[in-house]
Amino acid sequence: MSKLTPLKTHELISKLRKLGFEGPFPGGRHSRMVNLQTGQIVPIPIHSKEVGVGLIREIIRQVGISRDEWIEL
């Protein structure tokens, strides 16, 4: 199993776009990315320079893909 590493916000957005998400759209404390096919919404912390491994792990779980699939994106 590969190891997750922190990502810059633009790298996270790029990976989510490859999964069919659009955005980021502004709103509240965080921006959001939306998958228009499934209606799934993922919050994106634009205010930080890097997204930590814990949040990346949570996004992977929410999106429903494996850790290895995420790393291959």
Per residue in 43-65, pLDDT (tens digit) is 998 777 899 999 999 999 999 99
| pLDDT bracket for residue 6 (50, 70, 90) | very high
- Is residue 55 a part of any domain in this protein? yes
pLDDT tens-digit readout, 9-22 = 999 999 999 999 99
CA–chain centroid gap for 60, Å, is 7
What's 23's domain CATH number?
A: 3.30.920.30
- Is residue 47 a part of any domain in this protein? yes
Residue 29 confidence (pLDDT) = 79
Q: What pTM was computed for the model? A: 0.89
- Is residue 1 a part of any domain in this protein? no
| pLDDT bracket for residue 27 (50, 70, 90) | confident
| Domain count within the chain | 1
- Is residue 2 a part of any domain in this protein? no
Residue 62 confidence (pLDDT) = 94
The residue segments making up the domain with residue 29 are 7-72
Residues 21-35 as b/e (b if ≥16 CB within 10 A, e otherwise) read bebbeeeeeebbbbb
